[in-house]
Amino acid sequence: MPRYAAIDVGTNSVLLLVAERDSSGRWQPVIERAEITRLGKGVDQSKRLAPESIETTVKCLEAYAQEARAAGAQAIVASATSAARDASNGREFLDAARARAGLDIEIIAGAEEARLSYASAHADFGGERPLIVLDIGGGSTEFIYGTADGQVQYRHSFDVGSVRLTERFKGVANDVRKHLRQTFAQLPKPPPLARLVGVAGTVTTLLAVSRAIEPYDAAKVHGAVMPRAEVHSVSQRLLMMDFEARKKLPGLQPKRADVIPAGAMILEEAMDAVNAHELVVSDRGLRWGLLADRFKGTA
């Protein structure tokens, strides 16, 4: 079957998906990769991408593009989100990615990021109840409310993410929570009986840490349900540990150890804001929605 690839360049990590359709027309993964490159390091204050962050990310993109093409991908779609949107020198990064990796990266707006994340979650978990999709990234967090049949009713991208809040508040938990509560107070009332689905690395990491999933196993993560009490427990555990101790935790990538406490607080406050008692964890985020959307007309 023909293969296609999608690359999601986030504030904190870069994700690769190479997939092909099965006989029923559903996309099946052939290759999945994740690398933390911290493209958005310092962007909240400087509004610029650091040269070393650009270099690390472009090297990752070169490797991803080479692997995808070697695997037979007929085309590659790549997107960049919060950090590249906010940086005044985002064009420098885009030009380097084109020159060295042969990739034309789309900088997608927060609303489009939300739409694609919702499409991915609805494909796996929609159909019975309305969904609330929560996408916690390094630089921003998206909320998307939609109907059971997949129609988006509300979507918004807030400039709160695990990297951004870690840098801004220097790990002061009370300040982070206060800011999050003020920010999420803008959310409209969620649809009745809505199911909350969390996507992206913060959510999957929190589940992996909570249940000591080491090495990471998508089959144990995708579709798992985290009660609010479990989210609180792992959040408190992370907040009480120092950086060096967190780096050694089963289920946690060491490069994520500095920002995961902020990510955990975002998840807690988001669940409270939409009055969710549990969370369905999705291992398939923006890259899956991007792949399905951009290659929907392909054979």
Q: Which domain holds residue 264?
A: 110-281
Residue 52 lies in a domain: yes
The predicted structure's pLDDT at residue 123? 87
pLDDT number for residue 11: 87
Closest alpha carbon to 281 in 187, 209, 215, 189: 209
Looking at the structure, do residues 69 and 98 belong to the same domain, yes or no? Answer: yes
What's the pLDDT score for residue 299? 52
To which H or E segment does residue 273 belong? helix 260-273
Quote the CA–CA distance of 274 and 258 in Å, as a whole number.
27
In this structure, the answer to whether residues 34 and 165 fall within a common structural domain is: no
- Residue ranges in the chain whose pLDDT is less than 70: 82, 297-299
Boundary (domain end) residue, out of 107, 134, 169: 107
pLDDT at 225: 98
pLDDT for 130: 95
Which pLDDT does position 298 carry in this prediction? 60
The two structure tokens encoding residue 58: 């472009």
- pLDDT the model gives residue 297: 62
With 0.85 as the threshold, say if the pTM is over it: yes
One-letter amino acid of 37: T
Closest CA to 101 of 64, 50, 51, 53: 64
pLDDT at residue 110, rounded to an integer: 74
Strand 105-107 vs strand 131-136: parallel, antiparallel, or unpaired?
A: unpaired
Instruction: Using DSSP, state whether 216 is helix, strand or coil.
Output: coil
Do 56 and 115 sit in the same domain of this protein? no
Which of 88, 107, 126 is the last residue before a domain boundary?
107
Instruction: Provide the pLDDT for residue 253.
Output: 92
Same domain, 27 and 118: no
Same domain, 176 and 256: yes
The side-by-side arrangement of strands in the sheet containing 3-9 is 27-36, 13-21, 3-9, 73-80, 105-107
Integer-rounded Cα Rg, in Å, for the chain is 18
Q: Are residues 103 and 116 in the same domain?
A: no
